[in-house]
Amino acid sequence: MDFTAEVERSLRVLDGAVTVLCAVGGVQPQSETVWRQANKYRVPRVAFVNKMDRTGASFERVLGELREKLLAPAVAVQIPWGREEHFAGVVDLIRMRALTFDEESLGVKMGVREIPEELAAAARAAREELLVAVAESDEELLNLYLETGDLPEEKLVEGIRRATVGNRMVPVLCGTSLRNKGIQPLLDAVVDFLPSPLDIPPVQGRHPKTDDVLERATSDYEPLCALAFKVATDAFVGRLVFMRVYSGELKKGANVWNPRTQKRERVMRLIRLHANAREEVDVLYSGEIGAIAGIKGVGTGDTLCAEQKPIVLERIQFPEPVISMAIEPKTQADKEKLQAALVDLADEDPTFQVAQNAETGQTIIQGMGELHLEILRDRMLREFKVRANAGRPMVAYRETITTAGRAEFTFDRELAGKRHYAMVGVALEKNERGSGNSVDFKISSDLMPHDFRSVVEEGIRDGLSTGVLGNYQLVDIRVTVVNGHWHPVDSSEVAFRTAASMALHEAAKAAHPALLEPIMALEIVTPEEHLGDVLGDLNARRGQVTDVAQREGVRVIEASVPLAELFGYATTLRSLTRGRAGYTMEPTRLDLVPENLCRELMNR
């Protein structure tokens, strides 16, 4: 969960993905999160069940979990030959042959042989299941299958590819990557089943001025359309902006248009990235991914396009940070360097946010988890040579209301020799949890002219951003402007904005405000003998256990626990279980803080 932004932006620009699952651990909470993200972007997938040589490995169980937990149309295109320490290779169900991988060359040499007798029946049954799944997803192949009872290898591969590209099937393969067993067939599956840029539908965007829906097909002859999905700072080339080119050509030396800033940007250097190696190129073609070096005015989520044919692609949506800590420079000399480092890091990572606390003057950094903030602190020292002190992370609480509330506020003051007057009345109601805030106007133009409505909304949004209990953001509130009064001479935007913000605060105080805290979904895998200790500790942390399941010698606990109770949990869990348990967590929802804890927080 600490690096969910990397997953989100990768899936936004990729045409296909390989989901790697552990043959022992199976589908874990984070697997579900990433799977949901891939569903959101409709990314075709191939699944690879890894670590088949480990004790407790089960291909059938993981295949079942793919179907049950992820609701994936998973179909095996291979079955394992042997299991655990006896894992010898895989059976290819498409070509009905067994593949072996040479131990001495660490799997580089691959052998092909007949399917062993003990696996023949299982292979025939699994192939029949594959044939039925492919035939059901393709009408042309269904007729052929009903006539002949089989499908030729070529037609079967084509059918699997069409179903995979259309997200109607997830081919499942297996192996062990540590010893390179099953890796060559996996790479073949990427080529055979996952889409090329030509297989994906045209990308959709909007015209920046008219808001009309536009499409760009994957073609070098279409107008340029590219998305900036990542910013990185490199010690040698400076600022790198990673781009996915959807249409047209991105050429070195060319001017491109950024609809967000309404400015032309010049492309000085283009780089094609090969893992840890780089290659300078003169052009990136449609369907390619590369980076622009040294470009300043482009950030994550920006579209670059042809100025005469502008288009804006949908920006990448990132989750809100859930954890924060105070940070300060160790010496006065580090102050400017710290500010510059924070700006660069926030530029690279949209889930890392920096803010000033107006009351305490502290610099607050926010991220997705303890590990996230720890790594960013380490990078400050390593890459930016900044020494900084950091306080204990604080939870990003939110505020809401528990009943309806109503208030009016009149602003009537003399500022700089001029009278400023406005009156605003607002009514507050609860919105459903997680639905966000909304602002409506139920007031005639006689009481509030339309010219002032935008500043009144801004004032309300300002009020929502600070809250009334502990200056935390107010969420899940429906605000309705129900009353107002203005003066044709003395009313001003400043007066209406201030009156709206103060009216909101008064109404929120009257609506019994309450604190909300982030709740994490926790999955703990622990040996049976430590189950009682782990459950007792969860209970002490205000945790709610939702399920305790048995899985081949271990217990799997699923629980909901407040984030405030999980700082340092990794160390505690290791101590309780002698280092034998592990856990994963992800944010799920916001819940009300108990009254006694709320009072304690307010008195700090």
CATH number of the domain bearing residue 218: 2.40.30.10
Per-residue pLDDT tens digits for 404-458: 999 999 999 988 888 999 999 999 999 888 888 999 999 888 888 888 899 999 9
Co-location of 507 and 563 in the same domain: no
Tokens of 419: 């009278």
To the nearest 10 degrees (0 to 180), the angle between helices 4-13 and 29-40 is: 30
CA 367 to chain centroid = 13
**Residue 160 pLDDT > 90:** yes
Q: Would you place residue 604 in the very low, low, confident or very high pLDDT band (cuts 50, 70, 90)?
A: low
What CATH number does the domain containing 593 carry?
Answer: 3.30.70.240
**Residue 478 pLDDT > 90:** yes
Query: Domain containing 524: what range?
Result: 518-602
**Residue 360 pLDDT > 90:** no
Co-location of 355 and 427 in the same domain: no
User: Which of 282-291, 397-406, 462-471 bottoms out in mean pLDDT, i.e. has the lowest?
Assistant: 462-471
E-strand spans in 431-553? 438-441, 477-485, 513-527, 544-551
**Residue 359 pLDDT > 70:** no
Task: Identify the CA nearest to 391 among candidates 411, 370, 406.
Answer: 370
**Residue 554 pLDDT > 60:** yes
What CATH number does the domain containing 131 carry?
Answer: 3.40.50.300
How many other C-beta atoms can be found within 10 angstroms of the C-beta atom of residue 178? 12
CB 172 within 8 A of CB 140: no
* Domain final residue, candidates 486, 511, 536: 511
What CATH number does the domain containing 483 carry?
Answer: 3.30.230.10
Co-location of 102 and 228 in the same domain: no
The whole-number average pLDDT for the span 279-285 is 93
The whole-number average pLDDT for the span 261-271 is 91
DSSP H or E segment with residue 380: helix 370-382
Number of domains in the chain: 5
* Domain final residue, candidates 256, 281, 313: 313
Tokens of 11: 């899936």
**Residue 369 pLDDT > 80:** no
Query: Strand pairing partners for 481?
Result: 426, 441
The whole-number average pLDDT for the span 257-269 is 91
CB 107 within 8 A of CB 183: yes
Q: d(Cα 87, Cα 292) in Å, to the nearest integer?
A: 45
Kindly report the average pLDDT of the chain as a whole number: 89
**pLDDT over 70 for what percent of the chain?**
98
**Residue 356 pLDDT > 90:** no
Tokens of 94: 């498409």
* Domain final residue, candidates 313, 337, 353: 313
Query: Strand pairing partners for 274?
Result: 277
Q: Would you place residue 67 in the very low, low, confident or very high pLDDT band (cuts 50, 70, 90)?
A: very high
- Report, in angstroms and rounded to the nearest whole number, the Rg of the chain calculated over CA atoms: 29
User: Which of 154-158, 202-206, 369-373, 485-489 bottoms out in mean pLDDT, i.e. has the lowest?
Assistant: 369-373
Q: d(Cα 520, Cα 565) in Å, to the nearest integer?
A: 10
Query: Strand pairing partners for 239?
Result: 233
